[in-house]
């Protein structure tokens, strides 16, 4: 998955997480549950990193916007963790 590769580059410091967040916007119509589980995992990790920064409120809005598309699609198998993130 492309988004996994970009996330790995970000974690290694070779790519900006801003680029990752821009890329994730292109996945809003994705209907594969496995892809969304991976995205949620990365977003959850990123949430932990910026939770106590000034950017966290903006990030929560971004996260809700991105993850709201999964609710519209009624994806089967999406973890409860995703619903908590919203």
Query: Is a pLDDT exceeding 80 seen at residue 50?
Result: yes
HSE-up (13 A, CA, CB side) for residue 47: 17
Query: Is a pLDDT exceeding 60 seen at residue 56?
Result: yes
Q: In the chain, where are the structural domains located?
A: 2-85
Instruction: Please give the Cα distance from 31 to 14 (Å, whole number).
Output: 29
The three-state secondary structure class of 47 is: helix
Using pLDDT thresholds of 50, 70 and 90, give the confidence band for residue 85: low
- For tokens 């699609």, what's the residue? 73
Question: With a threshold of 0.85, does the pTM exceed it?
Answer: no
């Amino acid at each position: 998955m492309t988004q996994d590769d970009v996330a790995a580059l970000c974690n290694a410091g070779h790519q900006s997480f801003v680029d990752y967040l821009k890329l994730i916007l292109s996945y809003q119509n994705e209907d594969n549950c496995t892809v969304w589980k991976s995205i949620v995992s990365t977003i959850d990790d990123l949430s932990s990193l910026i939770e106590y920064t000034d950017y966290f409120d903006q990030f929560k809005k971004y996260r809700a916007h991105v993850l709201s598309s999964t609710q519209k699609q009624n994806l089967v198998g999406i973890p409860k963790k995703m619903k908590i993130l919203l």
